[in-house]
Structure 1
Amino acid sequence: MLPPPRLHQPLRRVVVTGLGCASPLGGTAAESWRRAQRGESAAARFDIDGASFVAARCGDLALDEKREKARVVALALRAAAEAVRDAGGLEAHAPARRGASIASGVGGLGDIVDAAHRVAEGKKLSPFFVPRALCNTAAGAVSLEHACAGPVQTSAAACAAGAQAVGDAFRLVQRGDCDVALCGGAEACVDEVALRGFARMGALSRDGAARPFDAARSGFVLGEGAAVLVLEDAASAARRGARAYAELRGYGLGGDAVHMSAPPPDGAGVLRAARAALGDANFEPDLIDHVNAHAAGTPAGDAAELAALEALLEGRRGDDALVASTKGATGHLLGAAGALEACFAVLALRDGLAPATAHLAAPLPTSARVTLVVEATRRDLRVALSTSSGFGGTNAALVFSHVSGDLGVEARVSVL
Structure 2
Amino acid sequence: MTRVVITGMGVVSSIGNDINSYWTSLKAGKSGITTPTSFDCSDIASKVASEIKDFNPEDFMDPKEARRNDRYAQLALAATHGALKDANLTREQLVPKRTGVLVGSGIGGMDTIEKQMTTLIERGPRRVSPFMIPSLIANIAGGIIAIDLGAKGPNFSVVSACASGSHAIGEAFEMIRRGAADVIFAGGSEAAVTRIGFAGFSSMKAMSTKFNDDPSRASRPFDKNRDGFVMGEGSGVLVLETLENAQKRGARIYAELIGYAATCDAFHVTTPDTSSESLTECMNLALDQAKLERNSVNYVNAHGTSTPYNDRSETTALKNVYSDYAKNGLMVSSTKSMTGHLLGAAGAIEAAACCKAIEEGVIPPTINYEEPDPDCDLDYVPNEARDATVNVAMSNNSGFGGHNASLIFRNFN
Counterpart CA distance in 2 for 1:50 and 1:223 is 15
- Alignment match, 1:412: none
> Structure 1 residues 319 and 394 mapped into 2: Cα distance closer, same or farther (>3 Å)?
same
TM-score w.r.t. the length of structure 1 is 0.91
Does 1:372 find its partner at 2:373? no
- Checking the alignment, whether the CA contact within 8 Å between 2:311 and 2:376 is kept in structure 1 is no
Partner of 1:175: 178
The 5-angstrom pairing of residues 223-242 of structure 1 reads 223-242=232-251
Shift of 1:117: 1.4
Report which of the two has the higher share of helix: 2
Give the unaligned 5+ runs of structure 1: 1-10, 405-416
Partner of 1:194: 197
- The residue aligned with 2:32 is 42
* Map 1:324-343 → 2, pairs under 5 A: 324-343=333-352
Q: Report the Cα distance in structure 2 between the residues aligned to 1:251 and 1:269, rounded to whole angstroms.
A: 14
Which residue identity is paired with 1:139? G
Alpha-carbon shift at residue 318 of structure 1 (Å):
11
Q: How many residues align?
A: 393
Distance change in 2, residues 1:12/1:130 (3 Å): same
Deviation at 1:309, TM superposition (A): 0.5
**2-side partners of 1:300 and 1:264: how far apart?**
9
Question: C-alpha displacement at 1:63, in angstroms?
Answer: 2.2
Distance 1:129 1:257 in 2: 33
Of 385, 390, 396, 2:405 maps to 396
Provide the residue aligned with 2:48 in structure 1. 54
Specify the code of the residue in structure 1 equivalent to 2:379: T
Query: Structure 2: how far apart are the matches of 1:319 and 1:269?
Result: 23
Q: Distance in 2 between matches of 1:50 and 1:130?
A: 27
Cα 1:127/1:377, change in 2 over 3 Å:
same
Q: In the TM superposition, what whole-angstrom CA distance separates every residue of 1:328-384 from its partner, at most 9, and x where no partner exists?
A: 10010000000010000110111111101121112334788x411102111111000
Q: Which runs of 5+ in 2 are unaligned?
A: 212-217
Counterpart CA distance in 1 for 2:20 and 2:241 is 21
Q: Deviations over 1:246-301 (max 9, x none)?
A: 00000011111111000111322211111111111111211110000001100001
Please tell me whether residue 272 in structure 1 is matched to residue 281 in structure 2: yes
Q: Distance in 2 between matches of 1:38 and 1:229?
A: 23
> Aligned in 2, Cα 1:358/1:316: closer, same or farther, shift over 3 Å?
closer
TM-score by length of structure 2 reads 0.92
Could you say which residue in structure 2 is the equivalent of 1:413? none
Task: Output the amino acid matched with 1:80.
Answer: T
The residue number in structure 1 matching 2:82 is: 82
Cα distance, 1:210 vs structure 2:
1.0
Structure 1 match to 2:214: none
Note if contact 2:9-2:352 (Cα within 8 Å) is conserved in structure 1: yes
SS of alignment partner, residue 271 of structure 2? coil
Q: Is 1:190–1:223's contact at 8 Å kept on the other side of the alignment?
A: yes
CA RMSD of aligned residues (A): 1.6
Q: 1:108 maps to which residue?
A: 109
1:297 maps to 2:306:
yes
Matched, 1:17 2:25: no
Partners of 1:79 and 1:228 within 8 A in 2: yes
State how far apart, in whole Å, the 2-side matches of 1:68 and 1:191 are: 18
